[in-house]
């Protein structure tokens, strides 16, 4: 494992945190970002990708299609990919495993999900994640690579359920952020969390996901962390929507909500909390009034 050549695509908060985690275990990785200001000392992709054994994609879902397209021509066929994105492709409505299957079908793939806020990892805090892959060797290698007293890694072979858990927790964490922003009571906040979990499980049944994964580390575990952490971009998006009526940096949850609702089709009507987010963020209804009406009429 010490000779594994790793390239991290994306030098934002997450990419830097992942690099820090690896360095603590004595593993070096090449970091690259489309914005050279973030990491000015980076080497060209043409130099670092041809010898890569694993590429970590630490880029948001809106940019994943382009990132995959830039990486695949430069990597060897047996190079493995690990996706950290917790959103869907806005063009196709595909989850990350589905998108990688379309654009990089020959490359072994893993996805990771769970409460692993970048700032907390960088500060030495604990984190947990589920690492999913159909490739048993890749799954085992990545779990060994990340596992430490600071980082709990749980293996799974269910890429779709882990990816869907990440999509849903991001969407519903925006709702929780909005609720916090309008200062709902603790009682109402607890009720909203219960509604979010109920809808996550219900959506999982519609789309064929494993309920245990949705209720576990990658789903509810990450929902709680993301929904109430001051470091969460989705949580911050909720605050910003309440304060200004819009959001300059929407994050994965707000980006995914419209395309995900479209993917659900007629089934979306069965998930009113998902619809509430659309009313506030797409139709620009007043957040406090919309949440009060939802609570009174659910």
163-297 to CATH, choices 3.20.20.70, 3.40.640.10, 1.10.1040.10, 3.40.50.720: 1.10.1040.10
Question: In terms of Cα–Cα distance, which of 134, 114, 139 is closest to 215?
Answer: 114
Whether residue 257 is predicted with pLDDT greater than 60 in this model: the reply is yes
Confidence at 255, pLDDT banded by 50, 70, 90: confident
Taking CB atoms within 8 Å and a gap of at least 24, the contacts of 3-6 are: 4/53, 4/54, 4/141, 4/145, 5/30, 5/51, 5/52, 5/53, 5/54, 6/30, 6/52, 6/53, 6/54, 6/55, 6/56
For the chain, how big is the Rg over CA atoms in Å? 19
At 34, is the secondary structure helix, strand, or coil? coil
Average pLDDT over residues 119-123: 91
pLDDT digits (tens, 9 = 90+) for 212-235: 999 999 999 999 998 888 877 777
Tell me which residues are annotated as active site. 169
Do the beta carbons of residue 79 and residue 53 sit within 8 Å? yes
Residue 142: the pLDDT is 97
| Higher pLDDT pick, 218 / 183 | 218
Residue 241: the pLDDT is 80
Whether residue 89 is predicted with pLDDT greater than 90 in this model: the reply is yes
Residue 157: the pLDDT is 98
Residue 41: the pLDDT is 84
Confidence at 245, pLDDT banded by 50, 70, 90: confident
pLDDT digits (tens, 9 = 90+) for 19-70: 999 999 899 999 999 988 888 889 999 999 999 999 999 999 999 999 999 9
First to last CA, the chain: 52
Average pLDDT over residues 255-271: 93
Whether residue 162 is predicted with pLDDT greater than 70 in this model: the reply is yes
Confidence at 2, pLDDT banded by 50, 70, 90: low
d(CA 285, CA 289): 8
Residue 232: the pLDDT is 76
Residue 248: the pLDDT is 64
Domain ranges of the chain: 6-157, 163-297
Residue 233: the pLDDT is 77
Residue 151: the pLDDT is 95
d(CA 9, CA 27): 16
Pairing of strands 6-9, 29-32: parallel
pTM, two decimals, is: 0.94
CATH superfamily of 6-157: NAD(P)-binding Rossmann-like Domain (3.40.50.720)
pLDDT cut 70: percent of the chain above it? 98
Whether residue 3 is predicted with pLDDT greater than 80 in this model: the reply is no
Residue 56: the pLDDT is 98
């Amino acid at each position: 494992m010490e000779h594994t050549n790793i390239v991290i695509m994306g030098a934002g908060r997450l990419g830097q945190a992942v690099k820090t985690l690896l360095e603590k275990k004595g593993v070096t990785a090449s970091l690259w970002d489309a914005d050279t200001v973030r990491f000015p000392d980076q080497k060209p992709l043409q130099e670092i990708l041809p010898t890569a054994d694993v590429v970590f994609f630490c880029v948001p879902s809106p940019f994943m299609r382009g990132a995959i397209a830039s990486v695949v021509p430069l990597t060897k066929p047996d190079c493995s990919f690990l996706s950290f994105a917790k959103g869907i492709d806005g063009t196709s409505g595909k989850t990350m495993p589905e998108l990688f299957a379309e654009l990089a079908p020959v490359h072994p793939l893993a996805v990771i999900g769970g409460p692993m806020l970048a700032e907390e990892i960088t500060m030495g805090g604990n984190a947990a994640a589920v690492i999913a892959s159909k490739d048993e060797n890749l799954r085992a290698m990545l779990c060994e690579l990340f596992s430490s007293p600071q980082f709990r890694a749980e293996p799974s072979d269910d890429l779709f359920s882990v990816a869907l858990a990440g999509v849903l927790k991001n969407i519903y964490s925006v709702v929780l952020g909005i609720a916090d922003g309008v200062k709902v009571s603790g009682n109402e906040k607890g009720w909203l969390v219960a509604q979010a979990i109920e809808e996550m499980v219900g959506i999982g049944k519609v789309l064929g996901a494993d309920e245990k994964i949705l209720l576990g580390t990658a789903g509810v575990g990450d929902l709680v962390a993301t929904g109430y952490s001051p470091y969460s971009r989705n949580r911050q998006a909720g605050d910003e929507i309440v304060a200004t009526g819009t959001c300059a940096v929407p994050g994965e949850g707000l980006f995914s909500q419209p395309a995900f609702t479209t993917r659900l089709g007629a089934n979306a009507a069965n998930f009113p909390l998902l619809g509430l987010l659309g009313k506030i963020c797409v139709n620009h209804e007043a957040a406090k009034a919309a949440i009060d009406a939802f609570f009174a009429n659910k």
